[in-house]
């Protein structure tokens, strides 16, 4: 079913989230699409626990905290989130609205589109081994959709970052804080004997390996053993050049995510060096009704900072008003003093005394 809306935002990074807020103040409810399964964009994907010091009036917060605060701030506006799907196609219709299609086959018909796609959509890094791709969606997964799938199975995880180690611990039958969903055996394959994860996670992982509750195999995955319909093992070549056979029922590849500009380049919008060219009066792109905010856009003097993206959201929201409410004159109001804005925010301002 096609979803009809006034505003659609591509990207739930910090700037896409603040676009929800600015549209909300102007009484526009938005739908938001992100290829990731959660909000936060680069802040959550690349530096969730690192401190940020240059958000106005917030002395310090981590990438995850900033996202949580933005989600709380936009809660009154009831945006609808569509996670885990990439926006693939955009076509302008005869009535000026935009037909937007996603990788999950969902369609949106929107009066305005806000591209807050940052450095592109984050995609899992694939394991390139002959014959493996045909098992994707069956024995091979690039993220956990349902932990029940791993119960009582021989699970092999490939990767060496927090996500890989966390899932190895969660699925390990003898990890006391783990999931209720326990695998029969968990083997982690990583190309070297050091990890890019939190020290506490690494310590827990090593302790369970020493207790022979988890297995670590160091090396590169060089092949698979499989019949026509079933994969039975991975071939892993170690630093000693020996190839070991690692049996499995299910394979979970968690080698991190990489951003890909993806289909944005095919949407017919003016671009400069892989970024969307915009008019800084409203952050409009070259196609009417489509705006671009945050890291994805470019203009003279552009700085890829969160605070700059936030400013762009204000002007883009006002710039979109003629497309959404062609007959309405939209005035700037202050959140401190406007009863109308208090109503949309759902707040009762405190008495100064
Ligand atoms: P992003 O955060 O990149 O979010 C874009 C979202 O769009 C992503 O979630 C992506 O999955 C989604 N997306 C893209 N294409 C599609 C598509 N076709 N379909 C569906 N979804 C799509 N900035 C600061 O101001 N201060 C700092 O201290 C700071 N520190 C940083 C530290 C590091 C290590 C890094 C890497 C960056 C830092 N930045 C900092 C930069 C800051 O993170 C970016 O400016 C900010 O994340 C841009 O926000 P955004 O919403 O425009 O894009």
pLDDT band of residue 144 (cuts 50, 70, 90) is confident
Burial of 40 (0-12, 13-18, 19+ CB in 10 A): buried
Q: Cβ distance 111 to 4 under 8 Å? A: no
pLDDT value at residue 227: 87
When mean pLDDT is compared across 70-84, 87-101, 168-182, the lowest value belongs to: 168-182
What stretch of H or E contains 190? strand 185-190
Q: Cβ distance 285 to 248 under 8 Å? A: no
Q: Which of 15, 52, 143, 306 to mutate to test the pocket of ligand 1 (most atoms within 8 A of CB)?
A: 306
Percentage of the chain modeled with pLDDT above 70:
97
- Indicate whether residue 87 lines ligand 1 (CB < 6 A): yes
**pLDDT for 178 beyond 60:** no
pLDDT value at residue 53: 96
Closest CA to 138 of 249, 15, 287, 224: 249
- Indicate whether residue 47 lines ligand 1 (CB < 6 A): yes
pLDDT value at residue 175: 65
Q: Cβ distance 5 to 98 under 8 Å? A: no
Residue nearest to atom 3 of ligand 1 (CA): 118
pLDDT value at residue 194: 95
When mean pLDDT is compared across 264-268, 319-323, 328-332, the lowest value belongs to: 264-268
- Indicate whether residue 12 lines ligand 1 (CB < 6 A): yes
Classify residue 229 by its DSSP letter.
S
Residue nearest to atom 47 of ligand 1 (CA): 42
Block residue for tokens 């310590």: 203
Which atom of ligand 1 is found nearest the CA of 42? 2
Beta strands 275-277 and 297-298 are: parallel
**pLDDT for 33 beyond 70:** yes
pLDDT value at residue 226: 95
Query: If you measure from the C-alpha of residue 158 to the centroid of ligand 1, how many angstroms do you get, rounded to a whole number?
Result: 26
If you average pLDDT over residues 167-174, what whole number do you get?
86
pLDDT value at residue 100: 97
pLDDT value at residue 329: 93
What does the H/E/C string look like for 64-96?
HHHHHHHHHHHHHHCCEEEECCCEEEEEECCCC
- Indicate whether residue 154 lines ligand 1 (CB < 6 A): no
**pLDDT for 179 beyond 70:** no
If you average pLDDT over residues 310-324, what whole number do you get?
98
- Indicate whether residue 210 lines ligand 1 (CB < 6 A): no
pLDDT value at residue 177: 63
What span, in angstroms and rounded, lies between the C-alpha atoms of 248 and 233? 5
**What mean pLDDT, rounded, does the chain reach?**
93
Reported as a single tens digit per residue, the pLDDT across 112-129 is 999 999 988 888 899 999
What span, in angstroms and rounded, lies between the C-alpha atoms of 252 and 144? 8
- Indicate whether residue 33 lines ligand 1 (CB < 6 A): yes
pLDDT band of residue 353 (cuts 50, 70, 90) is low
pLDDT band of residue 251 (cuts 50, 70, 90) is very high
Query: DSSP letters of 129-181?
Result: -TT-GGGBTTTEESS-S-GGGGTTSEEEEE--BHHHHHHHHHH-TT-TTS-S-
Query: DSSP letters of 199-222?
Result: HHHHHHHHHHHHTTSSEEEESEEE
Residue 119 C-beta-side C-alpha neighbours within 13 Å: 14
In terms of C-beta distances under 8 Å and separation of at least 24 residues, what long-range contacts does 168-175 make, across chains too? 168/205, 168/214, 169/201, 169/204, 169/205, 169/208, 169/214, 171/147, 172/208, 172/213, 172/214, 173/213, 174/208, 174/211, 174/213, 175/204, 175/208, 175/213
pLDDT value at residue 256: 87
Residue nearest to atom 21 of ligand 1 (CA): 34
């Amino acid at each position: 079913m096609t979803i009809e809306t006034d505003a659609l935002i591509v990207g739930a990074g910090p700037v896409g989230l603040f676009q929800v807020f600015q549209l909300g103040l102007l009484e526009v409810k938005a739908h938001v699409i992100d290829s990731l399964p959660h909000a936060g964009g680069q802040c959550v994907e690349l530096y969730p626990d690192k401190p940020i010091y240059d958000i106005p009036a917030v002395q310090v917060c981590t990438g995850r905290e900033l996202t949580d605060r933005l989600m709380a701030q936009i809660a009154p506006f009831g945006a609808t989130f569509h996670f885990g799907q990439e926006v693939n196609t955009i076509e302008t219709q005869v009535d000026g609205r935009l037909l937007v299609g996603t990788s999950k086959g969902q369609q949106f018909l929107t009066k305005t589109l806000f591209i807050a796609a940052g450095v592109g959509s984050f995609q899992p890094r694939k394991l390139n081994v002959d014959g493996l791709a045909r098992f994707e969606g069956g024995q091979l997964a690039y993220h956990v959709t349902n932990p029940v799938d791993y119960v009582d199975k021989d699970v092999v995880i490939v990767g060496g970052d927090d996500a890989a180690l966390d899932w190895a611990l969660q699925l390990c039958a003898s990890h006391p804080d783990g999931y209720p969903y326990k695998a029969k055996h968990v083997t982690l394959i990583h190309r070297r004997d050091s990890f890019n994860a939190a020290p506490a996670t690494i310590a827990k992982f090593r302790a369970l390996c020493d207790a022979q509750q988890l297995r670590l195999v160091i090396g590169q995955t060089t092949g698979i053993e499989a019949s026509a319909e079933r994969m039975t093992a991975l071939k892993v070549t170690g630093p000693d050049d020996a190839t070991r056979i690692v049996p499995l029922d299910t394979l979970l590849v968690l080698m991190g995510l990489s951003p890909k500009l993806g289909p944005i380049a095919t949407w017919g919008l003016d671009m400069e060096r892989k970024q969307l060219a915009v008019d800084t009066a409203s952050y409009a792109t070259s196609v009417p009704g489509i705006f671009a905010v945050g890291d994805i856009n470019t203009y003279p003097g552009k700085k890829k900072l969160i605070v700059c993206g936030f400013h762009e959201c204000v002007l883009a929201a006002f710039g979109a008003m003629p497309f959404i409410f062609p007959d309405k004159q939209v005035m700037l109001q202050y959140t401190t003093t406007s009863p109308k804005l208090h109503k949309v925010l759902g707040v009762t301002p405190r008495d100064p005394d």
